[in-house]
């Protein structure tokens, strides 16, 4: 599968692939601007893939949270899913890994700002926000909230490899990986490194309006190109209930039928909709436990439905 990732872009027709023993030497390589790099580079699959596989052997379900579009609530949905999975069953071990290197949000959303990561003989210890919910993010490694991580792809790649191969998660039932928007380095790196470790699949988050769906369709195309199973789509910020008059408003109008229609068109499972609830935004800003504090709100209701379907989807593969 790793080669299919490397070949996902528009490579010349007879390119042997960068990992092939023939890289840079095949007849098709003559005249290719990358010939020298390919010929002199290390051969064979990245050793990181094996390290990641060994490290994540005790992790039952590995789920990527993706969205082509930014700001649709990937981090919020990841945190809510994590909290909900952890709260539903105290025996279940859940972890959140934030691979958004340039804009990490998990420390804030999960209320772990200013926490530190400790290094031990068995690797980095993640930060525990609950007995059975741990989190790892580059946010814990920065000295100030103003610190910008101005990195090009290869450095981000190295960081993701470290996160995947050097964090001591222990035994986990669910590892949720929160990603940055787009279909680029972070996504390719994560899917390459996880190729041997058995990635369960991806949850795709979107909002209802066309400008978001446009990018999300690209993300679904990406998943298909690199062979990631789509566990389902979550529609976030779907309906807003005015707290004063209870009138429903579509803030991000689903002019083209919203996520449900897109799922039907593209034949991917639809997991459910989450309403636009200002309390969620506030709870996220303050890092409080929305699921535990407001168990009767319509959003938590909807969330529980989504989690149930997600668990079913994950288990259905294992049969």
Q: Which residue carries 């290197």 as its tokens?
A: 101
Among 152, 171, 267, 318, binds another protein (CB under 8 A): 152
Instruction: Confirm or reject binding of residue 211 to another protein (CB under 8 A).
Output: yes
Instruction: Confirm or reject binding of residue 149 to another protein (CB under 8 A).
Output: yes
**Can you give 105-140 as a three-state secondary structure string?**
CHHHHCCCCCCCCEEECCEEECEEEECCEEEEEHHH
Task: Tell me the window of 85-93, 130-138, 239-247, 301-309 that interacts with another protein (CB under 8 A).
Answer: 239-247
| Residues that contact another protein, how many (by CB under 8 A) | 68
Cβ at position 103, least distance to another protein in Å: 4
Among 127, 212, 228, 271, binds another protein (CB under 8 A): 212
Q: Whose Cβ is closer to another protein: residue 54's or residue 265's? A: 265
For 233, counting Cβ atoms within 10 Å of its Cβ (0-12 exposed, 13-18 middle, 19+ buried), the class is buried
What is d(CA 136, CA 100) in angstroms, rounded to the nearest whole number? Answer: 11
**Can you give 232-259 as a three-state secondary structure string?**
EEEECCCCEECCCCCCEECCCCCCCCHH
Binding to another protein (CB under 8 A): which residues in 243-262?
Answer: 243-245, 247, 249-253, 255
Instruction: Confirm or reject binding of residue 288 to another protein (CB under 8 A).
Output: no
For residue 255, how many C-alpha atoms fall within 13 Å in the half-sphere facing its CB?
8
Instruction: Confirm or reject binding of residue 11 to another protein (CB under 8 A).
Output: no
Identify the bridge partners of residue 201 per DSSP, sorted by sequence position.
63
Binding to another protein (CB under 8 A): which residues in 94-123?
Answer: 101-103, 105, 108-109
Q: Whose Cβ is closer to another protein: residue 93's or residue 209's? A: 209
Q: Whose Cβ is closer to another protein: residue 255's or residue 315's? A: 255
Structure tokens given for 279 = 């309390």
For 28, counting Cβ atoms within 10 Å of its Cβ (0-12 exposed, 13-18 middle, 19+ buried), the class is middle
Give the Å distances, CA to CA, from 43 to 37, 146, 161, 255, 267: 11, 39, 18, 49, 38
Instruction: Confirm or reject binding of residue 32 to another protein (CB under 8 A).
Output: no
Query: Helix or strand or coil: residue 172?
Result: strand
Instruction: Confirm or reject binding of residue 209 to another protein (CB under 8 A).
Output: yes
Instruction: Confirm or reject binding of residue 42 to another protein (CB under 8 A).
Output: no
**Has 242 been labeled as part of a binding site?**
yes
**Has 75 been labeled as part of a binding site?**
yes
Instruction: Confirm or reject binding of residue 147 to another protein (CB under 8 A).
Output: yes
Nearest Cα to 161, choosing from 50, 62, 2?
50
Cβ at position 121, least distance to another protein in Å: 33
Q: Length of the chain in residues, anyone?
A: 319
Cβ at position 172, least distance to another protein in Å: 25
Give the Å distances, CA to CA, from 89 to 4, 132, 311: 38, 9, 12
Instruction: Confirm or reject binding of residue 40 to another protein (CB under 8 A).
Output: no
Q: Whose Cβ is closer to another protein: residue 121's or residue 243's? A: 243
Looking at the chain, list the stretches that DSSP marks H as alpha helix, in order from N- to C-terminal side: 2-6, 35-40, 47-55, 74-88, 106-109, 153-166, 185-193, 210-225, 258-266, 278-286, 290-293, 298-318
What is d(CA 263, CA 251) in angstroms, rounded to the nearest whole number? Answer: 21
Q: Which residues are annotated as a binding site for ATP?
A: 68-75
Q: Which residues are annotated as a binding site?
A: 15, 29, 32, 38, 68-75, 242, 245
Give the residues lining the site for another protein (CB under 8 A): 8-9, 68-72, 75-76, 101-103, 105, 108-109, 145-154, 156, 180-185, 187-188, 207, 209-212, 214-215, 217-222, 225-226, 240, 242-245, 247, 249-253, 255, 276, 278, 281-282, 284-286
Q: Which residues are annotated as a binding site for [4Fe-4S] cluster?
A: 15, 29, 32, 38, 242, 245
């Amino acid at each position: 599968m790793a080669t299919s990732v490397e070949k996902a872009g528009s490579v010349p027709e007879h390119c042997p692939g960068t990992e092939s023993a023939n890289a840079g030497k095949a007849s098709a390589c003559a005249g290719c601007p990358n010939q020298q790099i390919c010929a002199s580079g290390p051969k064979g699959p990245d050793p990181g893939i094996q390290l990641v596989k060994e490290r994540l052997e005790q992790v039952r379900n590995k789920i990527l949270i993706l969205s082509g579009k930014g700001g649709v609530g990937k981090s919020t949905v990841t945190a809510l899913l994590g909290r909900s999975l952890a709260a539903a069953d105290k025996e279940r071990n859940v972890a959140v890994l934030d691979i958004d290197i340039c804009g990490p949000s998990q420390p804030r959303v999960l209320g772990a700002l200013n926490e530190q990561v400790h290094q031990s003989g068995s690797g980095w210890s993640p930060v525990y926000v609950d007995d059975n919910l741990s989190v790892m993010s580059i946010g814990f490694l920065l000295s100030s909230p103003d610190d910008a991580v101005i990195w090009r792809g290869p450095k981000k790649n190295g960081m993701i490899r470290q996160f995947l191969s050097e964090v001591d998660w222990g035994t986990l039932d669910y590892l949720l990986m929160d990603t940055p928007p787009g279909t680029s380095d972070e996504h390719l790196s994560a899917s390459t490194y996880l190729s041997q470790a058995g990635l369960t699949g991806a949850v795709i988050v979107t909002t209802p309006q066309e400008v978001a769906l446009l990018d999300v369709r690209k993300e679904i195309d990406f998943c298909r190109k690199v062979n990631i199973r789509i566990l389902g789509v979550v529609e976030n910020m779907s309906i807003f209930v005015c707290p004063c008059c209870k009138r429903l408003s579509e803030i991000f109008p689903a002019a083209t039928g919203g996520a449900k229609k897109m799922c039907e068109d593209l034949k991917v499972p639809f997991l459910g909709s989450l309403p636009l609830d200002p309390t969620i935004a506030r709870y996220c800003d303050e890092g409080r436990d929305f699921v535990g504090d407001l168990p009767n709100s319509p959003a938590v209701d909807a969330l529980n439905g989504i989690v149930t379907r997600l668990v079913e989807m994950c288990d259905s593969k294992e049969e």
